[in-house]
Structure formats: structure tokens, C-alpha cells
Amino acid sequence: MRKTAALLALLAVSAVSPALAQDAAAPAASTNLTLEEAQKEALENSPVYREAQDAEREAGWQQLEAVSKGFLPHVTASGKHFFDVDYSFEEVSFDSPFFAFPENFPKTSVALDADFDLFDGFSNVHKLDSANNGHEAKKILSDYALLQLREDVRLKYYTALGAKILSDMADQNVKTLQDHLNIVQDQLANGQATKYDVLRVDVQLSEAKSDQISAHDRVALAREALTQSMGLKGDDRPLDGDLPVLDSDSLLERVASADYQDSPLLKASELESKAAADQSAAAAASLWVPKISLVGEYQWYNEQSLTFGQASPSDLNVYPGSYFFGASATWDILDGGESVAKANEADEQAKQAKDNYASAQLQTPYDFDQWKRRLVSSMALYKAKLTNVDEAKESARLATVGFKAGTRTTTDVLDAELEEYRASAEVVQAQLDALEALINLELVTGKRLTHD
């Protein structure tokens, strides 16, 4: 009788144990890691987000480079000083004989050179357009990287949290089956159970232990994935929070009005395609059109007044000036094929960017439809599994009552409890699947559809 009473008490407790294990999945502690803290630390430490910001700043400097090279005059300063000069001689004929005069080379000179491109086949315009489109694309990707990082941390946080809940439920299931095995073995010794009952529970316990090992591995891997997404090398703080319960009705209304046309990745791909096309046009213009520029120079130098090879000391520090102003035209007619190669490289890069944009146009609506359908189906499955949990709990309760009345066996009660455990685990998994679909759908559309 005492063993039967102990069995009844165990069955009553184990019938609600999965739900209790789920509620106690995340113990409160002052050092727990919340979702908000995880996202904040990710922004501070993630190299992926910093890389996107660096790329945007680089594109901004490329804009300045395009303006400077194509639309502003260039001024350079240069200077020379010779410590020793061996003058050459210029022969001048005054009918006859010839006289040799030392040539005049200044020992010190300073020059300012300026040039301004008047026309280069509109290569400067194409380069500026390319830089502007490239910078706008990088800005969109930088903003998207912020959303992507937050959503990635959010998904991995909930994945790790769900893995911990499922792991605790697996631990509780092993404990329940182990207690059942002990009781059935005692019943076998008293003649109240058969060897079949013992073997059946033992097989179920073996499978539960295998599931327990897998559940523990998923917890460790999910936690490592979250730590990596946060940009940290290691973090063992327990997670604080519960899985959000999604409001299916209001959520599906927002999903129905969502659109992939404003996808950041799609817009960035389009701008990158335009930037590559402009860069190709600039390279072609440089190949087929000469460049016309205004040029000028002003020079200061110390003029050497030489008389029979000797400088007049009073003239050594005299710095007269000279200048010129004019126009120049340059056109590389033959450079070994370098210009042709660069023009064709730019053209092929433009084709690649165009094809990449075409691929994005095909992929984006598919991703949108995929995650939208998965969200709808996951939400429907989640609601259905909630009903299954209620039914499984009622089944376990009836099995326990039947066992007390002598109309059910311990096997019937154990089967009912296992169904409740599976239904509870399926609810958590459906909840995680719905969150994954929601977050990926938000990444496709580039905006949050809900706040939890």
C-alpha cells in the first residue's frame, strides 16, 4: 500500500512537471543577461556592424575624391636646392672665333604648378555619380546592418532561451521515467508488474537520455552562437526572460500589409548596379576622349650672374620670378593595352552588379513569400499545439484518476505523461519557429512588424 501511495503521489506531481519546468527555465539573478543588454553589447562589440560603418565612411571619402579630381583645380608646390653645380658652357659664334659662356642654372628654386581639367569626356561626372550611388548604397547597408544585428541577437537570444526550456523539460522527463522505472521494478518484485512493463519503461528511459544529451548540446551551441553574435569571446551569464507570446491576429494583419519592395538589400543592390555602370562609363570616356586642361606655373629662383665662371655675390640672393599660363591636351594613344583592359574590367564589373541586382529581384519576393508562409503556418501550429497540451494534461489527469480507481495501469499513465511532455515541447518549438519566421520576414522588409 505504501508503494501504491508513493506511485500515486509521483503520478500527480509528474503530470504537471513539464509546465513547472518551463516556468522555472530562467531563474532570476542580478547577473542575468537580458535581451536589451545583449543587443546593447552587440552594438558595442560586433565587428560585423563596425565593418558596415567603416564601409560607409570609406564611400563618403570616395565622394570627396571624385569631386576633388574632377571638379576642382589642383595646385602643387615643389622646390630644389643644389649644393654643388658644375656649369656647362654654351658656345656662341661671333662670326669667328667661338666664345664659350657658362650656362645659368639657379641653385635654389621654388615653383607652384596649377592645372584644371576643362573636359575629359564627362568622365568626372560619371565618377561623381558612381561615388554618390555607392555612398548611398553603403549608407543603406549600414542602417540595415544595425537592424540585422539587433534581429540576429534577438533570434539567437530566443533560440538559446528556448533551448534551455527544452533542456529543462528533457531533464524532468528523464527524472520522471527513472522514478517510473524504479517503481515498476518494485512492482515486478511484488508480482504487480511484468518483465514487459519493465523493459518498456527502460527503452523509453534510454531514448529520453539520448534526447537529454542532444538537448544539452543544443543549449551550449545556441549560447555560443549568441555570444558570437554579440561580438564576445565568451559569456556564461544566464538568460533572463520568457519566450514572447505572439498575438497571431494583429501580427497577421501587419504581415498582410507588408511589402518587400522597400527591401534595403534590394535598394542597395540597385544603387550598386548604377554605381558600377557609371564607373564603366567613366573608364570608357577616359579611353576614347582626350583630356583638355588649363595649366600654369609660377617659379621663384636665385639668378646667378656669372662673369667668366664667377657669381656676383650681390646677385646670389636675388629671386626673380617667371610664369606661364596655357592649355594642354593629352590622349593616351598607345599604352600597351592598359586603358583597354581597365575599361573592359569596369564593363564586366558593371555586368556583374547588374546580374546581382537581377538575382536580388528574383530572390527577394521568394524570401518574402517563404517567411510569410512559414510565419502563418507556425502561428497556426502554435495555436493547435496549445490545444494539444490542454488535451494531453486532461488525458494525464484521467489516467491518474483511472489508476486510482483500478481501471488503468501505470503504463497508461506513463503514456499519457509522455504525450503531455511531447505536446509541451512541440509548443515551445512552434513558438521558436514562429519567432524565426517573423524575424526573417522583418529582415526582408527592412522594418519591425511587432515589438516584444
The pLDDT value given to residue 67: 92
C-alpha cell at 441: 520576414
Residue 162 class from Cβ within 10 Å (0-12 exposed, 13-18 middle, 19+ buried)?
buried
Same domain flag for 419 and 308: no
C-alpha span between 52 and 46 (Å, rounded): 10
Residue 314 class from Cβ within 10 Å (0-12 exposed, 13-18 middle, 19+ buried)?
exposed
The pLDDT value given to residue 97: 64
For residue 188, pLDDT over 70 is answered with yes
- Kindly report, residue by residue over 412-425, the tens digit of the pLDDT: 888 888 888 889 99
In terms of residues, how long is the chain?
452
The residue written with cell numbers 581597365 in the block is 342
Which of 430 and 95 is assigned the larger pLDDT? 430
401 is a domain residue: yes
The pLDDT value given to residue 95: 64
83 is a domain residue: yes
For residue 441, pLDDT over 70 is answered with yes
Q: Measured at the alpha carbon of residue 431, what is the angle toward residues 208 and 167, in degrees to the nearest 5?
A: 30
For residue 103, pLDDT over 90 is answered with no
Cβ-based neighbours of 67, under 8 Å, separated by 6 or more = 128
pLDDT band at 334 (very low <50, low <70, confident <90, very high): confident
The two counts, helices (H) then strands (E), for the chain are 10, 8
In this structure, the number of other CB atoms found within 10 A of the CB of residue 86 comes to 7
Same domain flag for 342 and 315: no
Same domain flag for 406 and 361: yes
In this structure, the number of other CB atoms found within 10 A of the CB of residue 444 comes to 24
For residue 5, pLDDT over 80 is answered with no
Closest listed residue to residue 155, CA positions, set 450, 449, 439: 439
The residue written with cell numbers 503514456 in the block is 415
Cβ-based neighbours of 126, under 8 Å, separated by 6 or more = 278, 279, 281, 282, 285
Residue at which a domain ends, from 304, 330, 356: 330
C-alpha span between 364 and 356 (Å, rounded): 12
Rounded to an integer, the average pLDDT of 177-196 is 86
Same domain flag for 157 and 254: yes
Which of 120 and 167 is assigned the larger pLDDT? 167
In this structure, the number of other CB atoms found within 10 A of the CB of residue 143 comes to 15
User: In whole angstroms, what separates CA 96 from the centre of its chain?
Assistant: 85
Which of 426 and 337 is assigned the larger pLDDT? 426
Which of 337 and 60 is assigned the larger pLDDT? 60
450 is a domain residue: no
The pLDDT value given to residue 168: 93
C-alpha span between 444 and 364 (Å, rounded): 7
Same domain flag for 155 and 145: yes
Same domain flag for 147 and 193: yes
Same domain flag for 151 and 198: yes
The pLDDT value given to residue 1: 39
Rounded to an integer, the average pLDDT of 394-411 is 82
Same domain flag for 377 and 256: yes
39 is a domain residue: yes
- Kindly report, residue by residue over 230-278, the tens digit of the pLDDT: 999 999 899 988 888 877 777 777 777 778 888 999 999 999 999 999 9
**What is the pTM (predicted TM-score) of this model?**
0.77
Cβ-based neighbours of 425, under 8 Å, separated by 6 or more = 18, 166, 169
C-alpha span between 107 and 87 (Å, rounded): 11
Largest CA distance in the chain: 147
Residue at which a domain ends, from 272, 307, 330: 330
For residue 53, pLDDT over 80 is answered with yes
Does residue 271 contact residue 136 with C-beta atoms inside 8 Å?
A: yes
C-alpha span between 186 and 183 (Å, rounded): 5
The pLDDT value given to residue 94: 63
- Kindly report, residue by residue over 28-49, the tens digit of the pLDDT: 444 889 999 999 999 999 999 9
3-state percent helix, strand, coil for the chain, nearest multiple of 5: 65, 15, 20
C-alpha span between 379 and 434 (Å, rounded): 6
Rounded to an integer, the average pLDDT of 380-400 is 87
Rounded to an integer, the average pLDDT of 64-79 is 92
The CATH number of the domain where 395 resides is what?
1.20.1600.10
For residue 7, pLDDT over 90 is answered with no
% of the chain with per-residue pLDDT over 70: 85
The chain-wide mean pLDDT, for the chain, equals 84
Q: Measured at the alpha carbon of residue 255, what is the angle toward residues 253 and 257, in degrees to the nearest 5?
A: 75
Dihedral of the alpha carbons of 19, 24, 25, 28, in degrees to the nearest 10 = 160
Residue 45 class from Cβ within 10 Å (0-12 exposed, 13-18 middle, 19+ buried)?
middle
Same domain flag for 161 and 297: no
C-alpha span between 210 and 205 (Å, rounded): 9
Same domain flag for 206 and 223: yes
The pLDDT value given to residue 68: 92
The pLDDT value given to residue 90: 66
**Number of domains forming the structure of the chain:** 2
Pairing of strands 291-301, 108-119: antiparallel
The pLDDT value given to residue 305: 56
Residue 347 class from Cβ within 10 Å (0-12 exposed, 13-18 middle, 19+ buried)?
middle
Same domain flag for 343 and 298: no
Same domain flag for 178 and 270: yes
Q: Domain containing 137: what range?
A: 2-72+124-290+338-445
The pLDDT value given to residue 93: 67
For residue 24, pLDDT over 50 is answered with no
- Kindly report, residue by residue over 277-332, the tens digit of the pLDDT: 999 999 888 777 888 999 999 998 876 555 544 555 555 566 678 899 999 998 88
- Could you tell me which residues are beta bridge partners of residue 327? 294
E-assigned strand segments in 378-431: none
For 323-343, give the DSSP string.
EEEEEEEE--S-STTHHHHHH
